[in-house]
Structure 1
Amino acid sequence: MERAMKKIAISTIFNVCNYGTVLQAYATQYILGQLGYKSEIIKYIPERVNSNKVLLRTGGASAKNIFRNVLSIAIRLPGNILMRKIFNNFLNNNIIFTKRKYENLEQIRENPPEADIFLTGSDQVWNSKYNAGIDYIYYLDFVPNGKKKIAYAASIGGEDFETDEKPKIKTLLEKYDYIAVREKSAQKAISNLSISNVQQVLDPTLLLQTENWTPLFSKRKMKENYLLLYILGRDKNIIEIGEVIAKERGLKIVKIGLDFIISSKVDKNDLLCTPNEFLSYFYYADYVITNSFHGLSFILNFEKQFSIVLPKTFSTRLESLLYQFGLEDRIIRDKDDIDRHKFFLDYELVNPKKEKAKEKSLEFLKIALEL
């Protein structure tokens, strides 16, 4: 009963229109609740992702570039507004936030959230390229002295930290009581800063069982058997690979993502599905092709047959998870690898590795959170 009264403040990325981002935030809070802790996600919305302010920025851009940017914004604006509404609805209905909202380090230092424990959550919180430099709030540089600081499944996105940022990052990380990261590369990068006892753990989305996700599912949207394409960015190669595999397997093709690109080569484009619909699409799919880390996470959650096409950037995250479970043969690097889809993936061989990693991850959390 005493443990249930302990409160955790979570610093993680959530205010981005990205399915993996909002679902990892949900999963983190869900798991902490299952372990007997109250938690709030710190409502930190940095200026760089505040859509209203970003739209007004022109910087030193030329008149031609400003016109091009404004035109692009005007074309995409209706979709962006709807997309923001969809993700806000999910967050408001499924996430517990701090009452106070923060936009910068000064604000949160002056009035930090009240909590017994502070936790850096998952996703690319320590990726300086993604965050436009070191984001000190994700490094918990505002936490009052004497409070426990933990990192769970933090990601640096790539192979290493930026060289010029390493001294400062080392100082920030030395103040943590416990550190666990998502990728092997991050574990190595932090260990190279002479910080010991850094563990590799699973992304929080992989700590939940299928039955933990089902309450969020929407109704099935595609009656026919289908191959699901979940694409981050623009990659025509994935669609071409999907066409070949779908034809050989006798499947329709459903494409989801937030690229606003309608493909005439698929049977169904769902450009603005909700996070709930996203989960359902994965659950009911007969085969999945993706270039997304969290796409792979839900493939493993729901035990789907799949292929991975590595993205041009930040592929370390995907490769780390694939190699962790011995699934590197699911990577399709070019059309010569397409026949790999014919190899049936037996999850009876994968699940013991997944369960062992899950037990290790939960054990880390239990030890780290103990006051």
Structure 2
Amino acid sequence: MKKVGIMSMQRIANYGSFLQAYALKQLIEELGCKVEFVDYHVSESIIIEDTDSKNKFMRKLQKGLETFRYHAPLLHKLSFIRYKQFFARRYMPLLGISKEMNYNPTLDCLVIGSDEVFNCIQKNSNVGYSLELFGKDNHADRLITYAASFGNTTLKKLIKYGKADEIGLLLKKFYAISVRDSNSGSIVKQLTGDEPVYNLDPVLIYDYINCCDKIPTFNLNEKYLILYAYAGRISNGEADWIAEYAKKKNLKIYAIGGIQKCADRFIDCSPFEVLAYFKNAEEVITDTFHGSIFAIITHRSFSTLIRNSVGNSYGNEEKIRDLLNRLNLVDRMTTEIKEVENINKKTINYKKVDNILQKQRRIAKEYLRKKIIDSGAKAYEC
């Protein structure tokens, strides 16, 4: 039995990060491998703002104080703080992760990805600039990626901060590179001269709805829409419009992932319960990558708000546009909240979307089988 490690964003208190990590673990275990998560050492971020603290306790305190500045009901703010505070304790064991860090284990294969593992030119001090995410100092016989993403890091930024050559040399040492978006693919091609493989995010590849027995069944007594967005990114004007829209449609607003001014409820639940809430929602409004994916795999009507990156601010336009383009769902995107009503009226042909997903699932499983196992063994469907 091959021993395979996954180095991802598995310790981030985020539903998308958790579910993509769980999905990739399931996909590799289906190949008959023993899987463990591998940690990386957090180094100083390339981009540092004056307000950033190098002390972990102070960063958490700053985040807590920031929560109280958001326009949202007080009870929602307190629930949000508890959700962040207890996320690791509640859900990391479901991934087989303990408090003890797992650095540089001896492995048959190390898989780096999915998520924004290559997003190295950013200010997130919980990730920083870690070359271990590019395979440095690994103790694996084989090094590959799966659906890795540079996120908002572009080749222009790598050159600007003098990191392009360093990253390029590390990328050339990989046995195989799989990316999830065109920006990441372009960077890999320009730094290595080789065309990477393109694969979809693991949440789309692992068939959660038909294969995961951890998603509960809910019988809710009210109709609701889900607002899945980071706290602080829905403007007051957008929140006011969403409140009026929901009232007109006689829907409650459930905020998941972040607190929102217009929400009737903030939902603090397990990652698997998130998918149960999505399955029962009348419709979805989101401004996140994985929020869009959750709506897609549960066949919901949804709109995705596009946020542009300005300066060092974190946008979503590169990854969202790429994702929805690959699934022929570009008509679900908008930069204007008022367009949501018309978008969510339009029926999505999920039969066509599922056909794309079935093809991409076969491609992804074959990539993992060939690059990890490198034998005639065949991946199976659940």
> Given the two structures, how large is their TM-score scaled by the length of structure 1?
0.82
Deviation at 1:206, TM superposition (A): 0.8
Residue of structure 1 in register with 2:246 after alignment:
246
* Distance across 2 between alignment mates of 1:79 and 1:353: 36
Deviation at 1:277, TM superposition (A): 2.7
Residue of structure 1 in register with 2:380 after alignment:
none
Residue of structure 2 in register with 1:356 after alignment:
359
Partner SS state of residue 118, structure 1: strand
Would the aligned equivalents of 1:299 and 1:306 in 2 still touch at CA under 8 Å? yes
Q: Which amino acid aligns with 1:153?
A: A
The 1:81/1:54 distance shift into structure 2, 3 A limit, reads farther
Residue of structure 1 in register with 2:231 after alignment:
233
RMSD: 3.0
* Distance across 1 between alignment mates of 2:365 and 2:87: 31
- 1:149-173 CA distance string (max 9 Å, x none): 0000111112624212111110010
The 1:27/1:38 distance shift into structure 2, 3 A limit, reads same
Residues 1:217 and 2:215 are matched in the alignment: yes
Residue of structure 1 in register with 2:65 after alignment:
72
2:318 to 308, 312, 316: 316
- 1:127-151 CA distance string (max 9 Å, x none): 011555531111111124x711000
Q: Which amino acid aligns with 2:91?
A: F
The 1:121/1:130 distance shift into structure 2, 3 A limit, reads farther
The 1:212/1:43 distance shift into structure 2, 3 A limit, reads farther
Residue of structure 2 in register with 1:196 after alignment:
194
Deviation at 1:327, TM superposition (A): 0.9
Would the aligned equivalents of 1:122 and 1:204 in 2 still touch at CA under 8 Å? yes
1:13 to 9, 13, 18: 9
Using the TM superposition, name which of 122-131 and 215-224 deviates more: 215-224
Would the aligned equivalents of 1:124 and 1:130 in 2 still touch at CA under 8 Å? no
Residue of structure 2 in register with 1:85 after alignment:
86
Partner SS state of residue 300, structure 2: coil
Partner SS state of residue 153, structure 1: coil
Q: Which runs of 5+ in 1 are unaligned?
A: 59-67, 103-107
Residues 1:268 and 2:265 are matched in the alignment: yes
Partner SS state of residue 216, structure 1: coil
Deviation at 1:218, TM superposition (A): 4.2
Deviation at 1:205, TM superposition (A): 0.8
Q: Which amino acid aligns with 1:186?
A: S
Deviation at 1:217, TM superposition (A): 2.5
Q: Which amino acid aligns with 1:253?
A: I
- 1:19-43 CA distance string (max 9 Å, x none): 1111111111111111221110014
Would the aligned equivalents of 1:229 and 1:255 in 2 still touch at CA under 8 Å? yes
- 1:289-328 CA distance string (max 9 Å, x none): 1011111111111111111111341321111111111111
Q: Which amino acid aligns with 1:156?
A: F
Residue of structure 2 in register with 1:292 after alignment:
288
Residue of structure 2 in register with 1:330 after alignment:
332
The 1:241/1:207 distance shift into structure 2, 3 A limit, reads farther
Q: How much identity, in percent, do the aligned residues show?
A: 26
The 1:213/1:87 distance shift into structure 2, 3 A limit, reads farther
Would the aligned equivalents of 1:17 and 1:87 in 2 still touch at CA under 8 Å? yes
The 1:56/1:335 distance shift into structure 2, 3 A limit, reads closer
The 1:341/1:74 distance shift into structure 2, 3 A limit, reads closer
Q: With CA pairs under 8 Å and 6+ residues apart, which has the higher RCO, 1 or 2?
A: 2
Residue of structure 1 in register with 2:258 after alignment:
258
* Distance across 2 between alignment mates of 1:82 and 1:46: 23
Q: Which amino acid aligns with 1:176?
A: F
Q: Which amino acid aligns with 1:91?
A: M
Would the aligned equivalents of 2:118 and 2:151 in 1 still touch at CA under 8 Å? yes
* Distance across 2 between alignment mates of 1:98 and 1:194: 36
Partner SS state of residue 344, structure 2: helix
Q: Which amino acid aligns with 2:298?
A: F
Q: Which runs of 5+ in 2 are unaligned?
A: 46-52, 69-76, 309-314, 375-382
Q: Which amino acid aligns with 1:117?
A: C
Deviation at 1:331, TM superposition (A): 1.2
Q: Which amino acid aligns with 1:119?
A: V
Partner SS state of residue 143, structure 2: strand
Residue of structure 2 in register with 1:65 after alignment:
none
Partner SS state of residue 101, structure 1: coil
* Distance across 1 between alignment mates of 2:116 and 2:211: 23
- 1:203-228 CA distance string (max 9 Å, x none): 01111224456522245374212111
The 1:315/1:268 distance shift into structure 2, 3 A limit, reads same
1:138 to 133, 154, 162: 133
